[in-house]
Amino acid sequence: MVLLNLFYGGQSMSVNQKIYNILCVLFSLLLVIGNLTYQKFIILNIPFVHTFEISVGAILYPLLFLISDLIAEFFGKDYAKFCLKLAIMMNVIIALIIGLMDYLPATDWSRINNETFHHVFGVFGISFLGSMLACYASQTIDIGLYLTIKRLTGDRWIWMRNNLSTAISLMIDTIAVLSFLAVFNVCPKEHLLDLIVNSYLWKLFFSISSTPIFYLMIGIIRYLRTDKSWEYQIS
């Protein structure tokens, strides 16, 4: 409640609205960070588990599915898909702004010249297109699977609907986005299979490991949700 009051000190918004807005902001922020940092590939060593070779943008990417599952759990399909569309729209705006910045010439004394800026951000449009297509498809599948399993299981087996829907959706997302980047030579084709395997294994490991966080967030949101009359429509 302290966090909610920190962002919204007034009483004009319900707790449900505050929770939903915070989840949407976090979702959009993580998607932007992933798109801006994807070009750096790292070796991530998890002792006694595996040494992963992945894009640094993939480290926190599984949290997108945790957040969308939370929204689907408490607010339903329409609200989850609205959050997804909002995040994609924010990325469209960012891609356009970065494209304009890349087009503008640097001064002679700029510490970052045209070539350096273009090398880092010049292919952001390609990454953005592949990422957004993969993200929209995989998130739509994840939301649908999550709610289908929820209808079949009710309030039981929360861990199963979270992990099963995420595991299937992440596989689709990982294969789609890395294949797209390889076609446009953003990532090396000779490392494509290794990148797909490593990226998916990391995302799956992260998702399964974050199951206690998912349960914790469900508990917190259930505790905070006192106003159940939030019924306005999102088109």
Q: Structural domain boundaries of the chain? A: 2-93+133-224
The whole-number average pLDDT for the span 40-46 is 85
Would you say residue 85 has pLDDT above 90? Answer: yes
Q: What pLDDT does 83 receive?
A: 95
pLDDT-wise least confident of 19-33, 174-188, 192-206, 207-221: 174-188
Q: What pLDDT does 145 receive?
A: 94
The whole-number average pLDDT for the span 43-70 is 88
How far apart CA 58 and CA 196 sit, in angstroms, is 11
Give 17-25's long-range contacts (Cβ < 8 A, gap of 24+): 17/230, 19/74, 19/221, 19/224, 19/225, 20/71, 20/75, 20/79, 20/83, 23/67, 23/70, 23/71, 23/83, 24/71, 24/83, 24/86, 24/87
Q: What pLDDT does 232 receive?
A: 43
Would you say residue 230 has pLDDT above 50? Answer: no
pLDDT-wise least confident of 118-122, 173-177, 227-231: 227-231
Higher per-residue confidence, 185 vs 157: 157
Higher per-residue confidence, 175 vs 13: 175
Higher per-residue confidence, 234 vs 145: 145
Q: What share of the chain is helix, strand, coil (3-state, %, to 5)?
A: 75, 5, 20
pLDDT (tens digit, 9 = 90+) per residue, 87-112?
Answer: 999 988 888 888 888 889 999 899 88
How far apart CA 223 and CA 87 sit, in angstroms, is 27
Contact 55, 40 (CB under 8 A): yes
The whole-number average pLDDT for the span 14-24 is 90
pLDDT band at 224 (very low <50, low <70, confident <90, very high): confident
Closest CA to 158 of 169, 142, 147: 147
Would you say residue 127 has pLDDT above 70? Answer: no
The whole-number average pLDDT for the span 128-141 is 86
Average pLDDT, the chain: 84
- Tell me whether residue 219 is exposed, middle or buried, using C-beta atoms within 10 angstroms of its C-beta: 0 to 12, 13 to 18, 19 or more: exposed
Which CATH code is given to the segment(s) 2-93+133-224? 1.10.1760
Q: What pLDDT does 29 receive?
A: 93
